[in-house]
Amino acid sequence: MEKGSTARGSFIVLEGTDGSGKGTQLELLVKRLTQAGHDVAVFDFPQYDQPSSYFVKRYLNGDYGGTADVGPYTGALFYALDRYDVADKIRQARDDGKVVLANRYTASSMAHQGAKFDNAEQRRGYFIWLDNLEFETLKIPRPDLNIVLRVPAETAQQLVDQKGRRSYTDKKRDLHEADLDHMRLAVSVYDDLCQLFPKDFTRIDCVRSGELLDVETINKLVSEKVAPLLPEPKPKKARCCHRIATRGGNCRTSRRTCRSLPAG
């Protein structure tokens, strides 16, 4: 795995099934990191407002049939090309030292398309194929960490029903959301990913003792996972302590005397 250095920036993905709270946690994390002085770039997948998501939107709207009618390798291609469309932007933001955050990424295809396999060995072979396709063939940037927000399928489906209308479908639930068995399998595959690849995936159990944790508690847990990967925040520009009292906004005090300017 390509670990991000403090000079390069970092690339962190929030993962989980539909209704797991990824969007809410992403917003809170962006706010927290920005307040701490980090330069943040955000990507949201699929990119429903971009032409690159054409096949994804048709798939989720059921235009190609049900979940079982579209094979995992075919479905994975739809999503991989959508990510490829902004691969250079992700790479540039990371190389510029930014904290790159994404709502969903390759692991979503591993979980949702991987849920279509009955055989665990075949599923793991699919993981290897998809890893090679996206990170080797298409050269899509590899995340430094995938944080999986684990919410049981039944709870997640209830949370999905609280969402507003989506642009990519005229249905209350999209193809994956409407299939409870599929969502259960996707949760299980995410668990499998966390066990198989612990350096790349880490899990946060959002439901404990039968109760959904509040968003602030979850965000604190997310922030703790993110902290070791963060680059140094940008230093804030010093404000001269005498600026208000001077003409033209320029301090007439020597650098040794002014507390806001380095001596020299």
Please give the Cα distance from 194 to 147 (Å, whole number).
9
Average the pLDDT over 57-63 and give the result: 92
Chain segment 203-229, per-residue pLDDT in tens: 999 999 888 899 999 999 999 999 999
**What is the residue extent of each domain of the chain?**
10-233, 235-264
Query: What global pTM score does this model have?
Result: 0.80
Buried b (16+ CB within 10 A) or exposed e, 165-176: ebebbeeebbbb
Chain segment 126-180, per-residue pLDDT in tens: 999 999 999 999 999 999 999 999 988 778 777 766 654 545 455 555 555 667 7
Q: Which CATH number fits domain 10-233: 1.10.1740.10, 3.40.50.300, 3.30.450.20, 3.90.1150.10?
A: 3.40.50.300
Please provide the average confidence, as pLDDT, over all residues in the chain: 85
Q: What are the phi and psi torsion angles at 81 (to 5°)?
A: -70, -30
Average the pLDDT over 232-248 and give the result: 58
Instruction: Label residue 263 by pLDDT band (50, 70, 90).
Output: very low
* pLDDT given at position 229: 96
Q: Which long-range contacts (CB under 8 A, 24 or more apart) does 88-92 make?
A: 89/41, 89/43, 90/11, 90/41, 90/43, 90/140, 90/141, 91/141
* pLDDT given at position 153: 79
* pLDDT given at position 257: 45
Question: Would you say residue 99 has pLDDT above 70?
Answer: yes
